Amino acid sequence: MGMQHDLYGNPVSSDAAALPYLNDFAEGFAACEMRVLRILDIAVRDPSPLVQTWCAALHLFAEDAQAAQQARPFLQRARTQLVQAHDREAQWLAAIEAWAHGDTPLAAHRLEALVHHYPRDLAALKLAHYHAFNLGDSPAMLRMALAAQPHCADIPYFHGMLAFAYEQCHLLGPAERAARHALQLRFKEPWAHHALAHVLLTEGRVDEGLAFMQGASGSWTGLNSFMQTHNWWHLALFLMEDARHDEALQLHDRQVWGVVPAYSQDQIGSISLLARLELEGVDVGQRWQQLSPYLLQRQHDHVLPFLDLQYLYGLARAGQWQAAQQLLASMQSHADAQLQPRLRTAWQDVCLPAARGLLAHAQGQYQQAAQLLGPLIARLVEVGGSHAQRDLFSQLYWSALRHSGQWTALQNLVQPWHNQQPQSKRLAAHMRRIYQGLGLPAALAH
């Protein structure tokens, strides 16, 4: 096998026949497009390490209990071919092996080293971002992106990644500039749309965010189900800030839920949106029950604490109390068995008490929910998820405070948000209710 180079100039030891498939993965992964899956078509006939390693990575993205087992044969095949592999491919294999073993901090570390050596390896950067994000380490995302920036100025997808890294570090000005630069290079850049949606939501630019995401939505074609459903989820959040609950519920049914219902990210998008709608007083009917058959299969996944928390809340809201208790017990066992110190801390100190708080909220035990969730809000970054996603837990905490009559604490929490987001009809409605609870004029909410 002679040395090839992919579309970004990275060395590849596979045959020339494999190059179009490797390029589809490298660019398709950065672009959040379904064509990444094409590499599975050549897995049987091409034993080369990068083909096998990337097939393993695709299986791990299933984010379920069977993923590692399904990835392992590909990793074993890659290791047998390593003698003739390039150093880049050996680094890729080592990173995905760490992921398959459940050591995501090690996987993230190895991918960061890979990006340092091959800064135009956009797939490595994207996957490194995925792991750093799930570990709540947004500064690592930014550090890697800034190191790669001088080498990737021509790649629109890179600027989308840079934008999201800035945004997760609360650097909203640079995030918006990077996202808009990505869109100048290529308007169909859904990750840049996503990063900009985060900025506009955080800054309370509700009308602008709604118009922008509606305008961008026509380009959300050929995407993986996460990117497709998640951008529509962001559009639904803008509708909710504008108090357009019926339209947000319609978006849930048409765009957020039902694309690939067995997939983890589709499930948590639905859970998160239904929970937010309920918090605004919307009756979501039988939608929790539609979700529960999928959530019942999640009893022993424990891929990410952020996912487990939402599965648990979804099961409880569907009335699956026994299943919710079984999931909580299984989460406890997983936390007790976790040897990686960073992951053990996230599970033991943050995820489990938060899980008990969410369960208490779902059961209407609001005093207990407030006591459990309150001290954890500042630490929830450790379980992963974005600011916008973790905001659900803050909203559930506010709800627990409201239902237990803790109006003073609630005013202190919600008024600063309302100050920052004067366009938000959702926050204005909350403040009116809070001032009524405090015996103060509701007009103060304006």
pTM here is 0.97
pLDDT tens per residue, range 261-292 = 999 999 999 999 999 999 999 999 999 999 99
pLDDT of 22 > 80? The answer is yes
- Tell me the domain boundaries of the chain: 1-149
Q: What are phi and psi for residue 5, nearest 5 degrees?
A: -135, 140
**What is the model's pLDDT at position 84?**
81
pLDDT of 78 > 90? The answer is yes
167 CB-near residues (< 8 Å, 6+ apart): 175, 195, 198, 199, 202
pLDDT of 3 > 90? The answer is no
Label residue 2 by pLDDT band (50, 70, 90): low
pLDDT tens per residue, range 178-218 = 999 999 999 999 999 999 999 999 999 999 999 999 999 99
pLDDT of 1 > 60? The answer is no
**What is the model's pLDDT at position 228?**
97
Q: What are phi and psi for residue 119, nearest 5 degrees?
A: -65, -15
**What is the model's pLDDT at position 126?**
98
Contact 162, 178 (CB under 8 A): yes
Q: CB 446: neighbour CB atoms within 10 A?
A: 9
Q: What is the percentage of the chain residues whose pLDDT exceeds 90?
A: 98
Distance (Å, rounded) from C-alpha 273 to C-alpha 265? 12
According to DSSP, the residues that pair with 12 across neighbouring strands are: 4
Helix (H, G, I), strand (E, B) or coil at 33: strand
Query: Where do runs of H (alpha helix) occur along 101-137?
Result: 104-117, 122-134
Which among 42, 124, 43 has a CA at the least distance from the CA of 89? 124
Q: What is the mean pLDDT of residues 410-425?
A: 96
According to DSSP, the residues that pair with 33 across neighbouring strands are: 223
**What is the model's pLDDT at position 216?**
98
Angle at alpha carbon of residue 136, lines to 35 and 270, rounded to 5°:
55
Q: What are phi and psi for residue 259, nearest 5 degrees?
A: -75, -60
Distance (Å, rounded) from C-alpha 358 to C-alpha 399? 11
pLDDT tens per residue, range 108-133 = 999 999 999 999 999 999 999 999 99
**What is the model's pLDDT at position 446?**
78
Residues in the chain, overall count: 446
Q: What is the percentage of the chain residues whose pLDDT exceeds 70?
A: 100
Contact 193, 218 (CB under 8 A): no
pLDDT tens per residue, range 231-259 = 999 999 999 999 999 999 999 999 999 99
Q: What is the mean pLDDT of residues 372-396?
A: 96
Q: What single letter denotes the amino acid at residue 47?
A: P
Contact 129, 347 (CB under 8 A): no
**Would you give the distance in Å from CA 277 to the centre of its chain?**
20
Distance (Å, rounded) from C-alpha 19 to C-alpha 4? 8
pLDDT of 347 > 90? The answer is yes
